Structure 1
């Protein structure tokens, strides 16, 4: 977006986008909220959002890293003894209490789940010159959203494996004892790809590249948009007016 203001602090109906996101979790059954923010934003968030709107469940504000996956890992290190963790984009203000409760229910069953919706458009894969090389089966494609929920031990282990510079070639999961949906212990060895060759865009990908743990898909909502472009703000205003 052509703005110096981070998207989560832009205003929707006079309130920051992040306010709506935090209120949804404040009104849900999550125990605590750990907020990960950019460099030099902690005091701004405390004053202008947490204190101003009386968000009570935020018990830690953590400074993030250069990339999203660095920020998530910083947040995970602040989680403590919680058995499960929900990871959510602050710029998705239309998450509902009902969806959060559904995610909590599912993660207790599967240990790893993500929210998403089937894609509506046909997706094309193109080469470096923008010529089409393949058309995936649309019926099997989903657009991934957040929250993404995991066993805290599981996702923290996965992140530490993919970010740890000491990781070389083989990563084994059998020492942890996690099991797949077929109840067979996962013992597959996977190669630790250098981060520069992996574009990590969501948390489920971290499991794909490390533990090979099955992640359950949960049907989300087309209202659960991420505020990324100026057009998203216009759509967001319409969603608020439709509530």
Structure 2
């Protein structure tokens, strides 16, 4: 089953503290963005990639795509101020329907086996998201005071990719925009429609490069692989 991947890449990466887009930071002499793109570039089931970017980074990204021979990027669209706006721009740029994935450009360690399962489940059921089970004891607290312990057996840490039938994601995105609703991920927008979202178990390696500590972990993963 083939798919198209939509990738918001217009963030500022403030928590990384690099002073520029963290996707240009390098792991093993290669930008994080390229590591992520290469996962999909090498997947025969990926029909194409739509990147949401900052307009002033277009030339740099085009140069990187040429340098590292990334050929599956079909469109570079201007991203929004929030992630949701960037994904909406990608949705509008896609006109082929089918199964679409939304993936963080800063998650370069997603496994293709997880991608394949997400696509299969989304094709059969409408929506599927990657996640891992919570390992630590979880507390509910307000103002720094514990009010209860949450049953971690029912808790999942959600990652990307998140996979959807295109029409379902388009409907969820359009409705959120019409109602001026800002969600934390695409699954949340689909959940608002009353549609079930299934979880596909992923890997704890599928970490998002957000802080300097994540870069250290990323370098270790590359060496291990």
Q: Is TM-score (shorter-chain normalized) higher than 0.5?
A: yes
Q: Which of 61, 66, 72 is matched with 1:51 structurally? A: 66
The gaps in structure 2 that reach 5 residues or longer are 1-15
1:126 Cα deviation after fit = 1.8
The answer to whether the aligner puts 1:133 opposite 2:147 as a matched pair is yes
Q: Deviations over 1:67-103 (max 9, x none)?
A: 1111111111111123110000000000122222222
Unaligned runs of 5+ in 1: 168-193
Residue 41 of structure 1, aligned match among 51, 57, 61: 57
| SS of aligned partner of 1:159 | helix
Cα-Cα RMSD: 1.2
Which position in structure 2 is the counterpart of 1:158? 172
Per residue, is there more strand in 1 or in 2? Answer: 2
Structure 1 segments of 4+ aligned residues over 6 angstroms from their partners: none
TM-score by length of 2: 0.89
Q: Does 1:17 find its partner at 2:32?
A: yes
Q: By percentage of residues, which structure has more helix? A: 2
C-alpha offsets along residues 152-190 of structure 1, whole Å, 9 cap, x if unaligned? 1001111100111xx4xxxxxxxxxxxxxxxxxxxxxxx
Output aligned runs, 1:106-145, within 5 Å: 106-127=121-142, 129-145=143-159
Q: Within 5 Å, which residues of 2 pair with 1:89-238?
A: 89-127=104-142, 129-164=143-178, 167=179, 194-195=180-181, 200-209=183-192, 211-238=193-220
TM-score, normalisation: structure 1: 0.83
**Greater C-alpha radius of gyration:** 1
Distance 1:8 1:135 in 2: 36
